[in-house]
């Protein structure tokens, strides 16, 4: 009962202070506020809207400015500089499974006419439309089939930007490229709040705001529930890749998830939003006594302790290996990457179940499972 009362109280607090409500500026412009996301802002003018995306590698610069005008409206005479986008978007090519899932959740899957790397698309809706020929396979996102883009009359491309890279031949088509850098947000709810940006693109602002508010309420309620736990276990994540073990920093989304789920991250002392490459010996020395070990992987068969030992025998020196406290997520069999950016509460619930199972009695994990012996 105590847990239920606490969850109800958090929901009431959130409902009284919801983000996304426009505020007036001195010149009469309406600005939509964001509570968690740092990468975009929205301003509403008479006859058009402006979405500005901050350069995630240099916060003093703009990555893009998109000037959004509804399709049925004539273009205003005083449009600011920026990429003109006619909304709602139609005939969209999508490079990322995450972006495709967000569009599908908004009820606009029919606007997707092409995707890159469909083998990584876990959405049943996307796969069905691929099989029916309603969505085209555009190949690799690093070198998409631009001829096919032209054949299917792509009007807009939605892609994830990466530092010091460009979009190759796709840039020469003259098709506006909408860059969405939600993956650079460090707060789990910051990533989720980017759904509101997509709502703007597809004229689904009300639906996007509603989805985000519901996600926020669930997430904060779960976070409050985790704070009632009587202990905070320590956690290690992932495994070595090549010669290094890439360890997320203390301001990474992974570290935020661990803290919110009621655990202490063993590499909390490493600064930054990204990952630091450490030698295996360093990780073993600092994380040998971690209570839990979480691993994501993508392969046809499920990982077991036997597989992990065969891959690299020194893994068995970790306490989590010896005590059988390793939990794994096979991203090739569950829609992990498609779901958690827009539904961080799904992942948070899984992590709380791992660290504090008594707080969620009867819960069946969505992504992580206890790793089997063989």
Per DSSP, 315 falls in state G
Answer whether residue 9 shows pLDDT above 50.
Answer: no
For domain 227-370, give the fold. Answer: Rossmann fold (3.40.50)
Residue 45 CA, distance from chain mean position: 29
Q: What does the pLDDT look like over 273-300, one tens digit per residue? A: 989 999 999 999 999 999 999 999 999 9
Answer whether residue 7 shows pLDDT above 80.
Answer: no
Average pLDDT for residues 32-40, to the nearest whole number? 89
Residue 25: what pLDDT? 53
More confident position, 119 or 26: 119
Where are the domain boundaries for CATH 3.40.50.1980 in the chain?
A: 19-216, 227-370
H-helix or E-strand spanning residue 177? strand 177-179
Q: Please provide the average confidence, as pLDDT, over all residues in the chain.
A: 91
Contacts of 316 (CB under 8 A, 6+ apart): 308, 309, 322
> Are 358 and 328 within 8 A, CB to CB?
no
Residue 30: what pLDDT? 66
Answer whether residue 13 shows pLDDT above 70.
Answer: no
The band of 36, judged by pLDDT with boundaries at 50, 70 and 90, is: very high
CATH number of 19-216: 3.40.50.1980
Residue 145 CA, distance from chain mean position: 26
> Are 93 and 77 within 8 A, CB to CB?
no
Q: What does the pLDDT look like over 51-76, one tens digit per residue? A: 999 999 998 999 999 999 999 999 99
Q: pTM for the complete prediction? A: 0.89
Average pLDDT for residues 257-272, to the nearest whole number? 97
The band of 124, judged by pLDDT with boundaries at 50, 70 and 90, is: confident
> Are 23 and 31 within 8 A, CB to CB?
yes
Q: What does the pLDDT look like over 188-204, one tens digit per residue? A: 999 999 999 999 999 99
Residue 29: what pLDDT? 64
Rounded Cα distance, 191 and 162, in Å:
16
Answer whether residue 28 shows pLDDT above 70.
Answer: no
Read off the tokens for 173: 């088509």
Q: What size, in residues, is the chain?
A: 374
Average pLDDT for residues 222-232, to the nearest whole number? 97
């Amino acid at each position: 009962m105590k847990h239920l009362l606490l969850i109800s109280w958090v929901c009431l607090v959130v409902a009284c202070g919801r983000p996304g409500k426009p505020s007036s500026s001195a010149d009469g412009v309406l600005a939509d506020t964001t509570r968690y996301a740092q990468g975009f802002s929205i301003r509403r003018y008479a006859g058009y809207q402006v979405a500005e995306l901050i350069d995630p590698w240099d916060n003093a610069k703009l990555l893009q400015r998109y000037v959004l005008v509804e399709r049925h409206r004539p273009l205003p005479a005083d449009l600011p500089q920026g990429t003109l986008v006619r909304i709602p978007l139609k005939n969209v090519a999508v490079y990322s499974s995450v972006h495709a899932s967000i569009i599908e959740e908004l009820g606009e899957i029919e606007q997707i006419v092409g995707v890159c790397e469909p083998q990584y698309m876990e959405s049943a809706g996307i796969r069905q439309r691929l099989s029916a020929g309603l969505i085209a396979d555009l190949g690799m996102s690093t070198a998409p089939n631009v001829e096919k883009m032209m054949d299917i009359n792509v009007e807009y491309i939605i892609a994830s930007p990466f530092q010091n890279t460009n979009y190759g031949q796709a840039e020469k088509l003259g098709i506006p490229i909408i860059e969405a850098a939600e993956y650079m947000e460090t707060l789990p709810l910051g990533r989720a709040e980017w759904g509101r940006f997509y709502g703007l693109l597809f004229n689904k602002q009300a639906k996007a705001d509603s989805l985000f508010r519901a996600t926020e309420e669930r997430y904060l309620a779960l976070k409050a529930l985790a704070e009632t736990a009587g202990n905070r276990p320590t956690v290690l994540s992932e495994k070595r890749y090549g010669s290094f073990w890439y360890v997320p920093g203390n301001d990474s989304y992974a570290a935020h998830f661990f803290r919110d789920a009621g655990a202490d991250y063993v590499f909390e002392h490493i600064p930054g939003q990204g990952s630091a490459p450490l030698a295996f010996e360093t990780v073993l020395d600092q994380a040998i006594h971690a209570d839990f070990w979480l691993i994501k992987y993508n392969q046809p068969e499920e990982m077991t302790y036997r597989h992990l030992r065969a891959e690299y025998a020194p893994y068995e020196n970790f306490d989590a290996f010896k005590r059988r406290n390793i939990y794994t997520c096979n991203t090739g069999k569950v829609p992990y990457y498609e779901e958690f950016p827009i539904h961080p509460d799904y992942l948070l619930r899984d992590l709380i179940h791992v660290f504090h199972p008594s707080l969620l009695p009867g819960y069946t994990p969505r992504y992580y499972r206890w790793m089997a012996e063989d």
